[in-house]
Structure 1
Amino acid sequence: MPETHSPASTRPVLSVSNLTTALRQRDGGFQTIIDDITFDIAPKETLAIVGESGSGKSVTALSIMRLLGGKSSRISGRVELAGRNLLDLTEPQMRAIRGNDIAMIFQEPMTSLNPLMTVGAQITEVLIRHRGMTQTEARRESLHMLERVRIPEARARLDEYPHRLSGGMRQRVMIAMALVCKPRLLIADEPTTALDVTIQAQTLALMKILQEEEGMGILFITHDMGVVSEVADRTLVMLRGKAVERGSTAELFASPRHSYARALLAAVPTLGTMEGVALPQRFPAIDQVTGKAALPPPPVDTVSADEPPVLRVRNLTTRYAVGRRLIGGPKFAIHAVENVSFDLRKGETLALVGESGCGKSTLGRSVLRLVEPKSGEIQLQGTDIRKLDTTGLRRMRRSAQLIFQDPYASLDPRYRVGTTIAEPILAHGLASRAEAQERVARLLERVGLSADAANRYPHEFSGGQRQRISIARALSLEPAMIVADEAVSALDVSIKAQVLNLMLDLQESLRLAYLFISHDMAVVERISHRVAVMYLGEVVEIGPRNAVFGNPQHPYTRKLLAAVPKLEPSRRDRKPMLSNDEIPSPIRAAGYEPPKRSYRMAGTDHFVCEN
């Protein structure tokens, strides 16, 4: 397939020719993962690589960066950066290039950030190593970059450790670290996966501005076709290690030629398609061979207002102490969740949306008492879980499970996948060991993996595959409620559709209740019954999905909806607008009590904060 070039420059920043990568298997042999890939990236140009998890997108990036082990991989072809073949360089020469001439933003920030070093120390290390700055100069530049990626309280965050930050803020730290040396080429592997829509829009605008200023080329790996339409000049579609289609983004979106490219576009959830539809809708089932979409079955109403709620939350408040006085306790407190109330019924999905750091994940953990609330009432199936002892909490967690945002951090790397999924089944005495293994095989197949995946370790899977394993583990106890914290954020569009359809199937057959935490507004519109919008720990708007999306009343809700990427490649030519508005901080002086909020009714079960 001939390579077409952008007119942005006559000489590419990166030229990849006939790249082929094979990885060593358990039997000692090698399996080809990347098969004869060729592409160029010009200065100021963005090439997007799209495809399903396991298609070879990330392995392509790791091959370019020479981050695959020499003994466990075989890489052939040419990878030229400014005329130098990176495959011929020594490891010390590559270390001088990584982070300086080529920077990479990885998909999972917690696997890339050192948990023993502060955020500031990790960014300044890059500047000292590659730019020869003093500690003072590097710290000043690091602070500036954190402010540019809109980290709230950036000066204080410099001295925080990664585990103290939300998933979205950790990803913004990774972006700041990658851009701080102004590289010639930026490889962005799912850089906005963990970001809410407003920060995603600002991050993409920042990357575009820096790209224009520095003449930087960008290799953008993603499964978000809306982002591709807004940022990519050209797009390369990968399937099972091969490039099956490439060309300008506008042409590919308007008239995809390969059936797989058509399938990818058909599976993309689009904001606004649920107008006037009362119940959650399954996604079309896409045949990846023909690219045809089979209409999903009609939805079934699984919610009854006559039944008591599965989860009842009243005036829930969770705060974290920050800083210590010599005498007298903490100096500050993070108001992560503040005076939140809602009900969640059997068969219902309540979606929590809002910016990273707004308290969504803390709220999800608080209702399961994985984080201890400061005050409020939490009733799960009529039981006040704040009064439960350790034994009671253990029994309660059979009825309520959590799907974590970062699958790699929640899967024990020492255990095979089958052991991890079987562990809760055996711990609760629900099956014998042999029966548990049979149940594990069925669960893996239900989430789109083969049964023999049970014998492999987490590091042997892609990010999307690891998330499916986490979902299988959460389903293993057949709970009444699941808190899904960005449960599908790491999945490509077609697998995301399959997993969400699976969740809706389970909800229909088992009347599961979902507390669905997400920044993907198109997905939220498709699968939720009700939506709660959070801002700085408080719910500013809550109501039926059609009411919140069709008639948003709070300014922040309207801002979130306006920031959602659209499948319109023509929008790519717009001049990026980078907001310098500072995100207010949730940190308050110890003892501070926020004013009591008042809500007005904007419609049936639709409430909006007025102050």
Structure 2
Amino acid sequence: MTTTAPVLSVKNLSTSFLVDGEWKSVVRNMSFDVAPGETVAIVGESGSGKSVTSLSLMRLLAPATSRIEGEVMLNGRNLLALPEKEMRAVRGNEVSMIFQEPMTSLNPIFTIGRQISEVLVRHKNMSKAQARAETVRLLEKVRIPNAASRFDEYPHQFSGGMRQRVMIAMALASRPKLLIADEPTTALDVTIQGQILDLIKVLQEEEGMSVLFITHDMGVVAEIADRTIVMFRGDEVETGPTEEIFHRGKHPYTRALLSAVPKLGSMQGHDWPTRFPVLDATTGEPAEPVEVTDTVVLSKRPVLEVKNLVTRFPIRSGLWSRQTGAVHAVENVSFDLFQGETLALVGESGCGKSTTGRSIMRLVEPTAGNVALDGYDVMRLDTIGLRQMRRSVQMIFQDPFSSLNPRMTVGTAICEPFIKHRLGTTKQAKEKTADLLEKVGLSADMARRYPHEFSGGQRQRIAIARALALDPKVIVADESVSALDVSIKAQVCNLLLDLQQSLNLAFLFISHDMAVVERVSHRVAVMYLGEIVEIGPRAAVFDNPQHPYTKKLMSAVPVPDPSRRGIRRAISNDELKSPVRAMGYEPPRREYREVSPGHVVQIG
């Protein structure tokens, strides 16, 4: 450990918010240092105060409704005492921040290239040409394919994972002395998460950059942090070297956080999805044991049949906007989903798994193929038929903030589909809303609040409650637990498993979290560049992966072991191929072989 003066020194940091005319304390007496080149992790769950701590350090809270006390020293200057003009020169230059939700941080009316270049022009005095070249290099470094051609694209043209990579490139553009990373890899797939963690490590070595890493993922903490601070309900409950925290953690909450982390390989010997251990919200200790879900009866007839599904998006260019190519997002995908079954679609951002889910519901129009859902020929339905069909299937979207109306209370948002489909009276809708809020771990009186009053994890639970309002037969869960902290992730997954048991629900579970997929799935389909390259029973795929891409996904899963901090994955940027194809391109005919009953892998 270096003995030089810390880059950041925080003393007795306390933050309060003005609520109903009274000051409510949310962070109390936080004190810590971050040395040059050091990574300090603040770990805790939604509502623990870790994100408020980071926003307080950067003075990004509304002055009228927040009060920040204490001392935040950055290279000898107290940030809390600086005039706002000087603070603006600090943000994005000496200190950069990566936020949790990229779509709320990127300006939708400017291209991503312009937004990154602006940082370089403003803080590094580069010319526009220099800034463009450096921006393309940064985009390539965070593994965005065709970086030069995507410079002029807008945030909505990127997947959730790719938007987060743009945010990371922007934060690293000015080579800051301190990087505050607030859940920067939460929504990323495991291979990209590994790349980003490696990238941060490399930049630290090159620049001596310090990192304050805020997360709920103990696997990530183990891989990146020199020291760890554990927060629980606004208080710092334990701090120390990461190895000490992991191997000899003293506080019950620290031990509970570690015990709740899903570990790849923990399902060996289990034939059925298994419930997670859940943490008690008050004490932070495990509240109930693991319980095997073994009573779901799978039907013989699939509730969802997908045959040769193809979805392509045209690429237009030139003065007359003529089509010059296409994004082959989904290419010849076929699978069945049975009542009472969970089929997981796994793969990296941009592999086509979310587009597959949206194509099935015709939220995007497929190019070809057949989809039969609960007796409906989905491809032939008109507007009225689609509305009726969507009573049977509901979707939980990846980004809860963009899928909730900011002007509508969450209670209204949850009960709206119930009322629109005329399933009961207004009173019954309110009763159902209260029940659903309780089921997803929130309280009924929260129905009167608006989306911005909730944390990211709480907003995702609200989105899940809304999806359950119509009692659907099939739920397409698109990264529905990716942004949740460990205990809430466990609660939501257990809720989905319990609902599956009691209502015989079918889940199309779209995820990049291999450890969660292993625990909740009956079958697993691995997608790469729009195609299913391996599909089979969960145990067969995880115990005996055959395709190189499946093996790559599994090897990239973070492991909660601090001894792995020196590991570099060294995955080449060239390995991430693009689904963009020229006009007239015909995909090659694929061949498959059966490894074991129901376990099929693509050859070549």
TM-score (norm 2): 0.98
Q: 2:347 aligns to what?
A: 354
Q: 1:295 aligns to what?
A: 289
Q: 1:371 aligns to what?
A: 364
Q: The residue matched to 1:581 in structure 2 has which SS?
A: helix
Pick aligned residue for 1:33 from 16, 20, 26? 26
1:118 is displaced (CA, Å) by 0.4
Q: The residue matched to 1:487 in structure 2 has which SS?
A: coil
Q: 1:90 aligns to what?
A: 83
Q: 2:562 aligns to what?
A: 569
Q: The residue matched to 1:115 in structure 2 has which SS?
A: coil
1:140-151 pair list within 5 angstroms: 140-151=133-144
Describe the superposition over 1:318-349 as per-residue Cα deviations: whole angstroms up to 9, x where unpaired.
00011235569410100000000000001111
Q: 1:20 aligns to what?
A: 14
1:298 is displaced (CA, Å) by 3.1
Pick aligned residue for 1:546 from 539, 545, 551? 539
Q: The residue matched to 1:310 in structure 2 has which SS?
A: strand
1:275 is displaced (CA, Å) by 1.1
Pick aligned residue for 2:455 from 462, 484, 497? 462
1:83-232 pair list within 5 angstroms: 83-232=76-225
- Write the letter of the residue equivalent to 1:39: F
Pick aligned residue for 1:286 from 275, 279, 284? 279
Q: The residue matched to 2:302 in structure 1 has which SS?
A: coil
Aligned partners of 1:152 and 1:603: how far apart in 2? 35
Q: The residue matched to 1:398 in structure 2 has which SS?
A: coil
Aligned partners of 1:241 and 1:184: how far apart in 2? 27
1:439-588 pair list within 5 angstroms: 439-575=432-568, 577=570, 579-588=572-581
Aligned partners of 1:91 and 1:286: how far apart in 2? 41
Structure 2 unmatched runs, 5+: none
Describe the superposition over 1:155-178 as per-residue Cα deviations: whole angstroms up to 9, x where unpaired.
111111000100000000000000
Q: 1:234 aligns to what?
A: 227
Q: The residue matched to 2:332 in structure 1 has which SS?
A: strand
1:313-324 pair list within 5 angstroms: 313-324=306-317
Aligned partners of 1:292 and 1:132: how far apart in 2? 53
- Write the letter of the residue equivalent to 2:324: K
- Write the letter of the residue equivalent to 1:495: I
Aligned partners of 1:389 and 1:9: how far apart in 2? 70
Asked whether the 8 Å contact 1:17–1:79 carries over to 2, the reply is yes
Aligned partners of 2:284 and 2:365: how far apart in 1? 51
2:305 is the counterpart of 1:312: yes
Describe the superposition over 1:460-496 as per-residue Cα deviations: whole angstroms up to 9, x where unpaired.
1111111111111111111000111110111100111
1:296 is displaced (CA, Å) by 3.0
Asked whether the 8 Å contact 2:299–2:339 carries over to 1, the reply is no
- Write the letter of the residue equivalent to 2:118: E
Asked whether the 8 Å contact 2:340–2:501 carries over to 1, the reply is yes
Structure 1 unmatched runs, 5+: 1-6
Q: Structure 1 residues 129, 451: closer, same or farther in 2, change over 3 A? A: same
Asked whether the 8 Å contact 1:42–1:217 carries over to 2, the reply is yes
Q: 1:4 aligns to what?
A: none
Q: The residue matched to 1:441 in structure 2 has which SS?
A: helix
Aligned partners of 1:92 and 1:69: how far apart in 2? 16
Aligned partners of 1:50 and 1:275: how far apart in 2? 29
Asked whether the 8 Å contact 1:150–1:582 carries over to 2, the reply is no
Instruction: Choose 295-304 or 464-473, whichever is displaced more.
Output: 295-304
Q: The residue matched to 2:180 in structure 1 has which SS?
A: strand
2:407 is the counterpart of 1:421: no
Asked whether the 8 Å contact 2:17–2:24 carries over to 1, the reply is yes
TM-score (norm 1): 0.97
- Write the letter of the residue equivalent to 1:527: V
Aligned partners of 1:300 and 1:82: how far apart in 2? 58
- Write the letter of the residue equivalent to 1:204: L
2:45 is the counterpart of 1:52: yes
